[in-house]
Protein backbone atom coordinates (compact mmCIF):
# COMPACT_ATOMS: atom_id res chain seq x y z
CA UNK A 1 0.00 0.00 0.00
CA UNK A 2 1.32 3.42 -0.97
CA UNK A 3 1.72 5.65 2.07
CA UNK A 4 4.24 7.98 3.67
CA UNK A 5 6.16 5.16 5.32
CA UNK A 6 6.61 3.15 2.12
CA UNK A 7 7.94 6.25 0.34
CA UNK A 8 10.38 6.99 3.17
CA UNK A 9 11.52 3.37 3.27
CA UNK A 10 12.22 3.49 -0.47
CA UNK A 11 14.24 6.68 -0.08
CA UNK A 12 16.46 5.13 2.63
CA UNK A 13 18.52 3.39 -0.06
CA UNK A 14 19.91 6.79 -1.14
CA UNK A 15 23.13 7.41 0.79
CA UNK A 16 24.92 10.73 1.11
CA UNK A 17 28.49 9.81 0.03
CA UNK A 18 30.09 12.40 2.31
CA UNK A 19 28.05 11.79 5.46
CA UNK A 20 27.71 8.02 5.00
CA UNK A 21 24.02 7.97 5.97
CA UNK A 22 20.73 7.81 4.13
CA UNK A 23 18.88 11.01 3.25
CA UNK A 24 15.88 10.09 5.40
CA UNK A 25 17.78 9.68 8.68
CA UNK A 26 19.68 12.87 7.86
CA UNK A 27 16.39 14.74 7.80
CA UNK A 28 16.66 15.83 4.17
CA UNK A 29 13.06 14.87 3.23
CA UNK A 30 10.52 17.64 3.82
CA UNK A 31 6.86 18.31 2.91
CA UNK A 32 6.05 14.77 1.77
CA UNK A 33 2.57 14.56 0.23
CA UNK A 34 0.67 11.78 -1.56
CA UNK A 35 -2.50 12.48 -3.57
CA UNK A 36 -4.09 9.98 -5.98
CA UNK A 37 -0.76 8.30 -6.70
CA UNK A 38 1.07 11.61 -7.17
CA UNK A 39 4.01 11.88 -4.76
CA UNK A 40 5.71 15.18 -4.03
CA UNK A 41 8.42 16.13 -1.53
CA UNK A 42 11.37 18.43 -1.01
CA UNK A 43 14.98 17.33 -0.55
CA UNK A 44 16.60 19.95 1.69
CA UNK A 45 20.38 19.72 1.31
CA UNK A 46 22.98 21.24 3.61
CA UNK A 47 24.35 23.58 0.92
CA UNK A 48 22.69 25.12 -2.18
CA UNK A 49 25.32 23.82 -4.61
CA UNK A 50 25.80 20.30 -3.27
CA UNK A 51 27.95 18.38 -5.82
CA UNK A 52 25.52 15.41 -5.77
CA UNK A 53 22.37 17.53 -6.03
CA UNK A 54 21.26 16.31 -9.45
CA UNK A 55 22.20 12.72 -8.67
CA UNK A 56 19.98 12.83 -5.56
CA UNK A 57 17.08 14.21 -7.60
CA UNK A 58 17.38 11.46 -10.22
CA UNK A 59 17.68 8.72 -7.60
CA UNK A 60 14.63 10.01 -5.72
CA UNK A 61 12.54 10.03 -8.89
CA UNK A 62 13.66 6.49 -9.77
CA UNK A 63 13.18 4.74 -6.40
CA UNK A 64 9.82 6.39 -5.64
CA UNK A 65 8.61 6.05 -9.22
CA UNK A 66 9.20 2.28 -9.01
CA UNK A 67 6.76 1.87 -6.11
CA UNK A 68 3.39 0.20 -6.91
CA UNK A 69 0.62 2.75 -7.24
CA UNK A 70 2.86 5.75 -8.01
CA UNK A 71 1.66 7.71 -11.04
CA UNK A 72 4.07 10.65 -10.85
CA UNK A 73 6.93 11.97 -8.70
CA UNK A 74 7.68 15.64 -8.13
CA UNK A 75 10.99 16.33 -6.36
CA UNK A 76 11.93 19.86 -5.32
CA UNK A 77 15.56 20.49 -4.41
CA UNK A 78 16.31 23.14 -1.78
CA UNK A 79 19.04 24.01 0.71
CA UNK A 80 19.06 24.59 4.43
CA UNK A 81 19.11 28.26 5.35
CA UNK A 82 21.71 29.35 7.87
CA UNK A 83 20.36 30.90 11.06
CA UNK A 84 21.95 34.29 11.54
CA UNK A 85 21.96 35.71 15.09
CA UNK A 86 19.92 38.91 15.27
CA UNK A 87 21.92 41.69 16.87
CA UNK A 88 20.75 44.92 18.45
CA UNK A 89 21.24 46.69 15.11
CA UNK A 90 20.12 45.37 11.72
CA UNK A 91 22.93 44.02 9.57
CA UNK A 92 23.11 43.49 5.83
CA UNK A 93 24.52 40.04 6.62
CA UNK A 94 21.09 38.92 7.86
CA UNK A 95 20.13 38.00 4.27
CA UNK A 96 23.37 36.11 3.48
CA UNK A 97 23.01 32.33 3.64
CA UNK A 98 26.67 31.25 3.85
CA UNK A 99 29.78 33.20 4.85
CA UNK A 100 33.19 31.75 3.99
CA UNK A 101 36.48 33.25 5.20
CA UNK A 102 39.58 32.75 3.05
CA UNK A 103 42.56 33.20 5.31
CA UNK A 104 46.33 32.91 5.54
CA UNK A 105 48.61 33.66 8.45
CA UNK A 106 51.40 34.75 6.15
CA UNK A 107 51.32 37.22 3.27
CA UNK A 108 52.39 36.35 -0.26
CA UNK A 109 50.78 32.91 -0.50
CA UNK A 110 48.13 33.92 -3.05
CA UNK A 111 45.22 34.15 -0.64
CA UNK A 112 43.46 37.04 -2.39
CA UNK A 113 43.80 35.42 -5.80
CA UNK A 114 42.30 32.21 -4.42
CA UNK A 115 39.44 34.19 -2.83
CA UNK A 116 38.57 35.93 -6.12
CA UNK A 117 38.72 32.72 -8.15
CA UNK A 118 36.70 30.82 -5.53
CA UNK A 119 33.99 33.48 -5.67
CA UNK A 120 33.90 33.18 -9.46
CA UNK A 121 33.72 29.37 -9.26
CA UNK A 122 30.77 29.58 -6.85
CA UNK A 123 29.11 32.10 -9.15
CA UNK A 124 29.54 29.70 -12.10
CA UNK A 125 27.47 27.16 -10.13
CA UNK A 126 24.50 29.52 -10.34
CA UNK A 127 24.87 31.04 -6.87
CA UNK A 128 24.44 34.70 -5.94
CA UNK A 129 27.91 35.56 -4.60
CA UNK A 130 29.48 38.54 -2.84
CA UNK A 131 33.19 39.20 -2.31
CA UNK A 132 34.55 41.35 0.52
CA UNK A 133 38.17 42.50 0.68
CA UNK A 134 38.71 42.93 4.42
CA UNK A 135 42.40 43.85 4.27
CA UNK A 136 42.47 47.55 5.16
CA UNK A 137 46.25 47.92 5.00
CA UNK A 138 46.85 46.10 1.72
CA UNK A 139 43.59 45.73 -0.24
CA UNK A 140 44.06 43.57 -3.35
CA UNK A 141 40.61 43.52 -4.89
CA UNK A 142 40.93 46.74 -6.94
CA UNK A 143 44.03 45.34 -8.66
CA UNK A 144 42.73 41.79 -9.12
CA UNK A 145 39.44 43.01 -10.59
CA UNK A 146 40.96 46.01 -12.39
CA UNK A 147 38.58 48.34 -10.54
CA UNK A 148 40.57 51.39 -9.52
CA UNK A 149 38.55 53.96 -7.55
CA UNK A 150 35.12 53.02 -8.91
CA UNK A 151 32.17 55.17 -7.92
CA UNK A 152 31.05 54.13 -4.44
CA UNK A 153 27.90 55.68 -3.01
CA UNK A 154 25.43 55.21 -0.19
CA UNK A 155 21.72 54.57 -0.47
CA UNK A 156 19.31 54.50 2.46
CA UNK A 157 22.27 54.66 4.83
CA UNK A 158 24.13 51.70 3.33
CA UNK A 159 27.13 51.33 1.03
CA UNK A 160 26.21 50.00 -2.38
CA UNK A 161 28.49 47.16 -3.54
CA UNK A 162 30.43 47.48 -6.78
CA UNK A 163 29.43 44.88 -9.38
CA UNK A 164 32.22 43.08 -11.21
CA UNK A 165 31.13 40.51 -13.80
CA UNK A 166 28.08 39.64 -11.73
CA UNK A 167 29.93 39.55 -8.40
CA UNK A 168 28.92 42.03 -5.73
CA UNK A 169 32.17 43.36 -4.28
CA UNK A 170 33.39 45.79 -1.65
CA UNK A 171 36.91 46.84 -0.70
CA UNK A 172 38.42 49.60 1.41
CA UNK A 173 40.72 50.06 -1.57
CA UNK A 174 37.76 51.42 -3.57
CA UNK A 175 37.57 54.30 -1.09
CA UNK A 176 41.22 55.26 -0.62
CA UNK A 177 42.77 54.33 -3.96
CA UNK A 178 46.57 54.15 -3.78
CA UNK A 179 46.80 56.18 -0.57
CA UNK A 180 48.20 54.37 2.50
CA UNK A 181 45.77 53.45 5.27
CA UNK A 182 47.18 55.19 8.34
CA UNK A 183 44.97 54.14 11.26
CA UNK A 184 44.85 51.92 14.29
CA UNK A 185 42.70 50.60 17.11
CA UNK A 186 39.00 51.58 17.20
CA UNK A 187 39.24 53.34 13.82
CA UNK A 188 40.25 50.07 12.14
CA UNK A 189 37.43 48.14 13.80
CA UNK A 190 34.95 50.84 12.78
CA UNK A 191 35.88 50.71 9.10
CA UNK A 192 35.84 46.90 9.07
CA UNK A 193 32.42 46.86 10.70
CA UNK A 194 31.08 49.36 8.17
CA UNK A 195 32.18 47.59 4.99
CA UNK A 196 31.15 44.22 6.46
CA UNK A 197 27.72 44.89 7.97
CA UNK A 198 26.62 48.13 6.28
CA UNK A 199 27.24 47.14 2.67
CA UNK A 200 23.89 46.42 1.01
CA UNK A 201 24.64 42.84 -0.03
CA UNK A 202 21.00 41.94 -0.64
CA UNK A 203 20.16 38.25 -0.73
CA UNK A 204 23.30 36.20 -1.27
CA UNK A 205 23.83 32.47 -1.36
CA UNK A 206 27.46 33.01 -0.35
CA UNK A 207 29.71 35.83 0.81
CA UNK A 208 33.45 35.18 0.44
CA UNK A 209 35.60 37.26 2.79
CA UNK A 210 39.22 37.79 1.79
CA UNK A 211 40.72 38.05 5.26
CA UNK A 212 43.87 40.07 6.01
CA UNK A 213 46.94 37.95 6.79
CA UNK A 214 47.64 37.17 10.43
CA UNK A 215 45.56 36.76 13.58
CA UNK A 216 45.05 40.31 14.85
CA UNK A 217 42.32 42.84 15.64
CA UNK A 218 40.71 42.87 12.20
CA UNK A 219 40.28 39.10 12.16
CA UNK A 220 38.72 39.13 15.62
CA UNK A 221 36.38 41.99 14.70
CA UNK A 222 35.14 40.07 11.67
CA UNK A 223 34.54 36.85 13.59
CA UNK A 224 32.66 38.77 16.27
CA UNK A 225 30.42 40.68 13.87
CA UNK A 226 29.74 37.92 11.34
CA UNK A 227 28.60 34.36 11.92
CA UNK A 228 31.19 32.71 9.67
CA UNK A 229 30.13 29.25 8.49
CA UNK A 230 33.63 28.06 7.72
CA UNK A 231 37.20 29.08 7.00
CA UNK A 232 39.62 28.01 4.29
CA UNK A 233 43.32 28.43 5.03
CA UNK A 234 45.64 29.07 2.08
CA UNK A 235 49.28 28.07 2.34
CA UNK A 236 52.22 27.18 0.14
CA UNK A 237 54.59 24.21 0.51
CA UNK A 238 57.42 26.38 1.88
CA UNK A 239 58.34 25.63 5.48
CA UNK A 240 57.83 29.22 6.64
CA UNK A 241 54.24 29.22 5.42
CA UNK A 242 53.41 25.84 6.90
CA UNK A 243 54.73 26.90 10.31
CA UNK A 244 51.97 29.53 10.51
CA UNK A 245 49.07 27.28 9.53
CA UNK A 246 48.59 26.01 13.08
CA UNK A 247 48.16 29.59 14.33
CA UNK A 248 45.30 30.16 11.93
CA UNK A 249 43.61 26.88 12.83
CA UNK A 250 43.77 27.63 16.54
CA UNK A 251 42.54 31.21 16.09
CA UNK A 252 39.45 30.17 14.16
CA UNK A 253 38.62 27.31 16.49
CA UNK A 254 38.97 29.56 19.55
CA UNK A 255 36.33 31.91 18.12
CA UNK A 256 34.05 29.01 17.12
CA UNK A 257 34.67 29.15 13.36
CA UNK A 258 35.10 25.67 11.83
CA UNK A 259 38.09 25.26 9.53
CA UNK A 260 36.87 23.44 6.42
CA UNK A 261 40.27 22.60 4.95
CA UNK A 262 43.50 23.79 3.41
CA UNK A 263 44.41 25.06 -0.03
CA UNK A 264 47.96 24.31 -1.12
CA UNK A 265 48.74 27.11 -3.55
CA UNK A 266 51.74 27.08 -5.91
CA UNK A 267 52.14 23.42 -4.99
CA UNK A 268 53.91 22.44 -8.22
CA UNK A 269 54.28 23.35 -11.87
CA UNK A 270 53.47 21.33 -14.95
CA UNK A 271 56.17 21.23 -17.61
CA UNK A 272 54.81 22.55 -20.90
CA UNK A 273 57.14 20.22 -22.74
CA UNK A 274 56.51 16.83 -21.15
CA UNK A 275 53.47 17.47 -18.97
CA UNK A 276 55.21 16.14 -15.88
CA UNK A 277 54.41 17.64 -12.47
CA UNK A 278 57.44 19.08 -10.68
CA UNK A 279 57.22 19.71 -6.93
CA UNK A 280 59.89 22.37 -6.56
CA UNK A 281 59.07 23.00 -2.89
CA UNK A 282 58.40 19.36 -2.05
CA UNK A 283 55.04 17.59 -2.09
CA UNK A 284 53.36 18.37 1.21
CA UNK A 285 49.69 17.43 0.77
CA UNK A 286 50.03 14.16 2.67
CA UNK A 287 52.04 15.88 5.36
CA UNK A 288 49.39 18.57 5.79
CA UNK A 289 46.73 15.89 6.23
CA UNK A 290 48.82 14.01 8.78
CA UNK A 291 49.82 17.11 10.73
CA UNK A 292 46.51 18.91 10.97
CA UNK A 293 43.91 16.27 10.18
CA UNK A 294 42.31 18.67 7.70
CA UNK A 295 41.54 17.78 4.10
CA UNK A 296 43.46 19.48 1.32
CA UNK A 297 40.60 21.03 -0.64
CA UNK A 298 42.76 21.83 -3.66
CA UNK A 299 46.34 21.78 -4.86
CA UNK A 300 46.83 24.69 -7.23
CA UNK A 301 49.85 24.59 -9.56
CA UNK A 302 51.97 27.59 -10.54
CA UNK A 303 50.11 28.90 -13.57
CA UNK A 304 50.95 32.05 -15.55
CA UNK A 305 48.00 34.43 -15.68
CA UNK A 306 45.96 32.57 -13.05
CA UNK A 307 45.23 35.90 -11.35
CA UNK A 308 43.52 37.32 -14.45
CA UNK A 309 39.84 37.88 -13.72
CA UNK A 310 39.04 37.52 -17.43
CA UNK A 311 40.48 34.01 -17.67
CA UNK A 312 38.41 30.84 -17.28
CA UNK A 313 38.15 29.45 -13.76
CA UNK A 314 40.96 26.85 -13.46
CA UNK A 315 39.97 23.25 -12.81
CA UNK A 316 41.68 23.14 -9.36
CA UNK A 317 39.48 26.09 -8.29
CA UNK A 318 36.35 24.29 -9.47
CA UNK A 319 37.52 21.30 -7.44
CA UNK A 320 38.00 23.65 -4.47
CA UNK A 321 34.40 24.89 -4.77
CA UNK A 322 33.00 21.34 -4.89
CA UNK A 323 35.08 20.17 -1.94
CA UNK A 324 34.11 23.29 -0.02
CA UNK A 325 30.42 22.39 -0.37
CA UNK A 326 31.13 18.85 0.82
CA UNK A 327 33.02 19.96 3.92
CA UNK A 328 30.43 22.63 4.71
CA UNK A 329 27.73 19.98 4.48
CA UNK A 330 29.59 17.80 6.97
CA UNK A 331 29.87 20.67 9.45
CA UNK A 332 26.18 21.50 9.13
CA UNK A 333 25.24 17.90 9.87
CA UNK A 334 25.87 18.58 13.53
CA UNK A 335 24.95 15.10 14.72
CA UNK A 336 28.02 13.45 13.18
CA UNK A 337 29.80 11.74 16.08
CA UNK A 338 33.44 12.53 16.78
CA UNK A 339 36.05 11.15 19.20
CA UNK A 340 36.33 12.39 22.77
CA UNK A 341 39.66 12.78 24.59
CA UNK A 342 39.81 12.72 28.38
CA UNK A 343 42.88 13.30 30.55
CA UNK A 344 43.47 10.59 33.14
CA UNK A 345 46.59 10.27 35.34
CA UNK A 346 49.56 9.63 33.09
CA UNK A 347 47.45 8.91 30.02
CA UNK A 348 44.90 10.13 27.50
CA UNK A 349 41.71 8.16 27.09
CA UNK A 350 40.23 8.36 23.59
CA UNK A 351 36.63 7.31 23.13
CA UNK A 352 36.00 6.58 19.45
CA UNK A 353 32.61 6.99 17.72
CA UNK A 354 32.33 3.23 17.18
CA UNK A 355 32.25 2.70 20.97
CA UNK A 356 35.84 1.49 21.36
CA UNK A 357 38.40 3.13 23.64
CA UNK A 358 42.15 3.63 23.52
CA UNK A 359 44.58 4.50 26.31
CA UNK A 360 47.68 6.41 25.21
CA UNK A 361 50.62 7.32 27.49
CA UNK A 362 51.08 11.08 27.81
CA UNK A 363 54.81 10.94 27.14
CA UNK A 364 54.28 8.98 23.91
CA UNK A 365 51.67 11.42 22.62
CA UNK A 366 53.80 14.43 23.57
CA UNK A 367 56.83 12.90 21.79
CA UNK A 368 54.80 12.42 18.59
CA UNK A 369 54.03 16.14 18.21
CA UNK A 370 54.75 17.39 14.68
CA UNK A 371 54.57 21.15 15.26
CA UNK A 372 57.34 23.51 14.12
CA UNK A 373 58.91 23.45 17.60
CA UNK A 374 59.19 19.67 17.59
CA UNK A 375 59.97 18.83 13.95
CA UNK A 376 62.38 20.55 11.59
CA UNK A 377 60.24 22.19 8.90
CA UNK A 378 62.87 21.69 6.20
CA UNK A 379 64.19 18.18 6.84
CA UNK A 380 61.15 16.70 8.58
CA UNK A 381 63.41 15.26 11.27
CA UNK A 382 62.49 15.42 14.94
CA UNK A 383 63.93 18.26 17.01
CA UNK A 384 62.38 17.14 20.27
CA UNK A 385 64.47 14.69 22.29
CA UNK A 386 62.02 12.24 23.93
CA UNK A 387 64.45 11.92 26.85
CA UNK A 388 63.70 15.54 27.81
CA UNK A 389 59.99 14.87 28.30
CA UNK A 390 59.15 14.60 32.04
CA UNK A 391 57.94 11.19 33.11
CA UNK A 392 55.06 12.80 34.97
CA UNK A 393 53.92 15.02 32.11
CA UNK A 394 50.18 15.71 32.08
CA UNK A 395 47.70 17.26 29.66
CA UNK A 396 46.63 20.58 31.20
CA UNK A 397 43.99 21.43 28.60
CA UNK A 398 42.39 19.64 25.67
CA UNK A 399 40.64 21.59 22.92
CA UNK A 400 38.73 19.68 20.22
CA UNK A 401 39.27 21.16 16.76
CA UNK A 402 36.09 20.43 14.84
CA UNK A 403 35.80 16.95 13.36
CA UNK A 404 39.46 16.56 12.54
CA UNK A 405 41.87 17.00 15.46
CA UNK A 406 42.55 18.03 19.04
CA UNK A 407 44.92 20.63 20.49
CA UNK A 408 46.69 19.73 23.74
CA UNK A 409 48.56 22.01 26.14
CA UNK A 410 51.05 20.09 28.26
CA UNK A 411 52.47 20.64 31.72
CA UNK A 412 55.97 21.16 30.25
CA UNK A 413 54.73 24.46 28.77
CA UNK A 414 54.20 23.19 25.22
CA UNK A 415 50.84 24.18 23.73
CA UNK A 416 51.20 24.44 19.95
CA UNK A 417 50.69 20.78 19.12
CA UNK A 418 47.76 19.68 16.96
CA UNK A 419 47.02 15.95 16.96
CA UNK A 420 44.72 14.69 14.22
CA UNK A 421 42.27 11.90 14.96
CA UNK A 422 44.02 9.79 12.32
CA UNK A 423 47.34 10.35 14.10
CA UNK A 424 45.92 9.26 17.46
CA UNK A 425 44.18 6.28 15.86
CA UNK A 426 47.46 5.16 14.25
CA UNK A 427 49.21 5.44 17.62
CA UNK A 428 46.47 3.40 19.27
CA UNK A 429 46.58 0.74 16.55
CA UNK A 430 50.36 0.32 16.86
CA UNK A 431 50.16 0.18 20.63
CA UNK A 432 47.30 -2.33 20.65
CA UNK A 433 48.90 -4.40 17.88
The domain limits of the chain are 4-79, 92-332, 340-432
Q: Which helix (H) or strand (E) holds 158?
A: strand 158-159
Assign 30 a pLDDT band (cuts: 50, 70, 90).
very high
CATH code of 92-332, in short, is 3.40.50.300
In this structure, of 90-94, 113-117, 315-319, the range with the lowest mean pLDDT score is 90-94
Annotation: CATH topology of 340-432: NE0471 N-terminal domain-like (3.30.2020)
Assign 80 a pLDDT band (cuts: 50, 70, 90).
confident
**What number is the average pLDDT over the span 24-41?**
92
* Average confidence score pLDDT of the chain: 83
Q: Do 92-332 and 340-432 share a fold?
A: no
Assign 66 a pLDDT band (cuts: 50, 70, 90).
very high
DSSP-based three-state secondary structure for 333? coil
**Rounded distance between C-alpha atoms, residue 23 and residue 60, angstroms:** 10
Closest-CA residue to 103 (of 206, 230, 266): 230
pLDDT digits (tens, 9 = 90+) for 155-186: 888 889 999 888 999 988 887 655 445 445 55
In this structure, of 41-50, 178-187, 346-355, the range with the lowest mean pLDDT score is 178-187
Rg (CA), the chain: 24
Report the top-level CATH class of 4-79.
Answer: alpha beta
DSSP annotation of 199 reads: B
Q: Inform me whether the pLDDT recorded for 95 exceeds 70.
A: yes
Share of the chain above pLDDT 70, in %: 86
Query: From edge to edge, which strands make up the β-sheet containing 340-344?
Result: 340-344, 347-351, 357-361
**Rounded distance between C-alpha atoms, residue 210 and residue 131, angstroms:** 7
pLDDT at 157: 82
**Rounded distance between C-alpha atoms, residue 138 and residue 176, angstroms:** 11
Closest-CA residue to 257 (of 302, 288, 224): 224
pLDDT digits (tens, 9 = 90+) for 258-294: 889 989 888 777 777 777 777 776 655 566 667 777 8
- CB of 281 closer than 8 Å to CB of 237: yes
In this structure, of 61-75, 151-165, 171-185, 405-419, the range with the lowest mean pLDDT score is 171-185
Q: Inform me whether the pLDDT recorded for 91 exceeds 80.
A: no
**Rounded distance between C-alpha atoms, residue 226 and residue 216, angstroms:** 16
**Rounded distance between C-alpha atoms, residue 344 and residue 41, angstroms:** 50
**What number is the average pLDDT over the span 339-360?**
92
Amino acid sequence: MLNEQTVLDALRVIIDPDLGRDIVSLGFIKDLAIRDGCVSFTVELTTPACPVRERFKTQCEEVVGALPGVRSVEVTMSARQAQRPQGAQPSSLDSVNTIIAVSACKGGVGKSTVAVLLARALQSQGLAVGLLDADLYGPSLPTLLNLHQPEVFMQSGRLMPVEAQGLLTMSFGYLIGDAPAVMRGPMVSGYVDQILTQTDWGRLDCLVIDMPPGTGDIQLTITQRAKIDGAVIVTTPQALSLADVAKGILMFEQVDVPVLGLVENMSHFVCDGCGKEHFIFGSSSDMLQRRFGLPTLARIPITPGISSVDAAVPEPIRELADNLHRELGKRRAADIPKPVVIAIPGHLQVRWPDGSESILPNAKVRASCTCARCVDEYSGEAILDPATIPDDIEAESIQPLGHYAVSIAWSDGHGSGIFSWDHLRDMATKREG
